[in-house]
Amino acid sequence: MTSDQFSRLRRLRRNSTLREMLSETRLSASDFIYPMFVVNGTGVRTPIEPMPGIDQMSVDVAVEEAQKAFDAGIKSVLLFGIPDEKDATGSRSSSPEEAVQQAAAAIKKASPETYVITDVCLCEYTDHGHCGIVTGNVVDNDATLPLLAETAVSHARAGADMVAPSAMMDGQVAAIRAALNDNGFTNTPIMGYSAKYASVFYGPFRIAAGSTPQFGDRRDYQMAPTQSREAMREIEADIDEGADLIMVKPALAYLDVVKEASMRFDTPIVAYNVSGEYSMIAAAGNAGWLDRERATLEVLTSIKRAGASLIITYSAIEAAGLLAKG
């Protein structure tokens, strides 16, 4: 007998029930974290042009959106804030009156089981658009750390379940961990944006959050796309500083980094399916160039298959609905 008479892998693909039973990678709504952009005011829902289906939302609208996500099976949201006023030091980032703090409190009150994560960075709050204090056109790493720590504590006081520092400042996790502990928040976890690359795929987000740098770029503190071994060093550093989860961002162009991290570290891996990745599929799908629904699930499955425990994705509610349909 020839070998093909013994082994025919198509036998395991011919029946849909068997294909489902043998699935190596399973995607569910509980894998998703839904990012939301919150602003001050009431009754605000402003569409974000390069991100069809995603809006800037005032706190009252964000509460409704978080409940919609929870009802779809998505247990966690990630909040980004957009202030009315910005300054050189991003001073509004730690104000209890700002949208992130107000939304964290309101969402937890309306839906206590929704797990609220908050982004900790200054870029949305600075008038120059960089992620920290600028001295002579250079972001001052050490001067930025106390401000990030103060912001994280303000989020925890407001009711955030977890904080997620994204500024890519060396030592940010350690500074935030110490500040949380000193203020009685020893049980508040930190999700480190550990391997965050200087990526073109953040473009739509920067429009949504009004955080485009007014000079230079972020390549002197975010990672170069050429680096993978360095990513492992960044991840290890965050774990050593006390990160409870670590993140790779973006996801699609860095699936090799997700895979390597998942094989090397026991700490849960989060992958961020970023705005540009979302916008590409939305635009191509809306133009009829591909099946948006199938592409969305295929992309998210690839991220999970690479080793991500959780996926931050703007497609969360859409994908949860598709999974529910089967």
Burial class (CB in 10 A: 0-12, 13-18, 19+), 19: exposed
68-114 tens-digit pLDDT: 999 999 999 999 999 999 999 999 999 999 999 999 999 999 999 99
264-314 tens-digit pLDDT: 999 999 999 999 999 999 999 999 999 999 999 999 999 999 999 999 999
Mean pLDDT computed over every residue of the chain: 95
Could you tell me the CATH superfamily of domain 25-325? Answer: Aldolase class I (3.20.20.70)
230-260 tens-digit pLDDT: 999 999 999 999 999 999 999 999 999 999 9
**Could you write out the DSSP letters of every residue in 218-271?**
STTTSBPTT-SHHHHHHHHHHHHHT-SEEEEESSGGGHHHHHHHHHH--SPEEE
Is 66 within 8 Å of 111 (Cβ atoms)?
yes
Report strand pairing: 245-249 vs 191-196: parallel
Whether 249 is a known active-site residue: answer: yes
DSSP 132: S
Catalytic residue among 68, 108, 109, 196: 196
Global pTM? Answer: 0.95
**pLDDT value of position 2:** 57
**pLDDT value of position 165:** 97
Is 137 a residue whose pLDDT tops 70? yes
Catalytic residue among 68, 108, 109, 249: 249
Round to whole Å and give the CA distance between 92 and 85: 8
Round to whole Å and give the CA distance between 105 and 118: 11
**Cα radius of gyration rounded to whole Å, the chain:** 20
Whether 259 is a known active-site residue: answer: no
